Amino acid sequence: MKYCINYSNKSHIIDKVDEILIRYDKNKILELFTQFIPAHSNQRVIVQLIKEDDIDTIINNLKKIISIYNENENIKFDIQLPFYNQKFIEELKNTNLKYFFKTSADSWDKFTGLMSQNVSDIYITDELAFELDKVAEIAHKNNIKVRIYPNIAQSKWDKLSDILKFFVRPEDIEIYESYVDVCEFYGDKAQQIDTYYKIYQEDKKWFGDLQEIIIGLDSKIDSRYIIPRFAEKRIKCGKDCLKSGKCEMCKRILDLSEQLENAHLIVQIDKEKGEIDET
């Protein structure tokens, strides 16, 4: 499992993470390609082209990047494009640069469409993230990395019960390792992102209410009382609860967590299984 953050000069982990997303700035182009990228040669640097008012500006910036790459192929970096456009693909097709889109796949249609564009990575979000076993199998056969935002409660319908939204608890991150290649933390403050990295990559646990770390959760879900079966099922359930109404596992686990809390029992997780200990 790799971890990715947006570049910030205020970050204390910029030299520790596996991947760095850094915005393209035409005023700092020399600094980016002659100083920053060489200084981070042991990490994956992804140059991020942001959405502009007109597509021609993005294409011109892309052409500048490609020109620099062609003149300095020893400088290793990849590109993130703000959205899909065939003109981008035309510019990139004769280069060895790896690229992917900020656009995420929340359906099989989008996933298949993005995959057909020879991308290196695809963000998986919303209900498609409940089929990561199938997604990962196809993506990895095509040498595509699966990316997720673990710290956002995701759904195409905001009023959906929180427990049915996609998110990843720090305790469950290792369960996702076989399916997810890159975890990218959502947030705009360096200190906040640094904290997410420590919680997910180092601590791998959260001793309290998930509302405190998962963006978009509106109801209390105390991570101390959630059993490991929660993540193991959600990776491949395909949201059967909404398709057939036969599965109520998430709701039952939430009910169980309330019972465990009332009984002063917490769930402790070891490498083999979840064990419930009295506190």
CATH code for position 171: 3.20.20.60
Residue 225 lies inside a defined structural domain of this protein: no
171 part of a folded domain: yes
pTM of the model: 0.93
Examine the pLDDT at 249 and tell me if it is beyond 50. yes
User: What does the mean pLDDT of the chain come to?
Assistant: 92
Decide if 204 contacts 141 (C-beta within 8 A): no
When pLDDT is cut at 50, 70 and 90, the band that residue 274 belongs to is very low
Residue at 75 is within a domain = yes
| pLDDT number for residue 272 | 54
What's the CA gap between 92 and 54, in Å, rounded?
Answer: 19
Does residue 212 belong to any structural domain of this protein? no
Q: 16 lies in a domain?
A: yes
**CA torsion sign, 162 to 165 to 167 to 172?**
positive
Tell me the residue range of the domain where 62 lies.
2-206
In a domain, 32, yes or no: yes
Mean pLDDT computed over 29-53: 93
Q: How large is the average pLDDT for residues 231-242? A: 93
- Average pLDDT in the 158-169 region? 94
Residue 74 has pLDDT above 90, yes or no: no
In a domain, 249, yes or no: no
Rounded-to-integer distance, Cα 234 and Cα 214, Å: 17
Looking at residue 96, what is its pLDDT? 92
Predicted pLDDT of residue 279: 47
Q: Is the dihedral of CA 51, 54, 58, 59 positive or negative?
A: positive
DSSP state string for the chain: -EEEEE--TT-S-TTTSSEEEEE--GGGHHHIIIIIHHHTTTSEEEEEPPP-SSHHHHHHHHHHHHHHHHH-TTS--EEEESS--HHHHHHHTTS---EEES-EE-SHHHHHHHHTTT-SEEEE-GGGGGGHHHHHHHHHHTT-EEEE-TTB-B-SSTTS-GGGSB---GGGGGGGTTT-SEEE---S-HHHHHHHHIIIIII----SBGGGTSBT--S--BGGG--THHHHHHTT-TTHHHHTS---HHHHHHHHHHHHHHTTEEEEE-SS-EEEEE-
| In the predicted structure, residue 276 carries a pLDDT above the cut 60 | no
pLDDT band at 270 (very low <50, low <70, confident <90, very high): low
* pLDDT confidence tier of residue 269, bands split at 50, 70 and 90: low
The tally of domains found in the chain comes to 1
- Average pLDDT of the residues in 3-25: 96
Domain assignment present for residue 74? The answer is: yes
Mean pLDDT of 194-204: 97
Is the pLDDT at 154 greater than 90, yes or no? Answer: yes
Give the residues across from 6 on adjacent strands.
21
Across the range 136-145, mean pLDDT stands at: 98
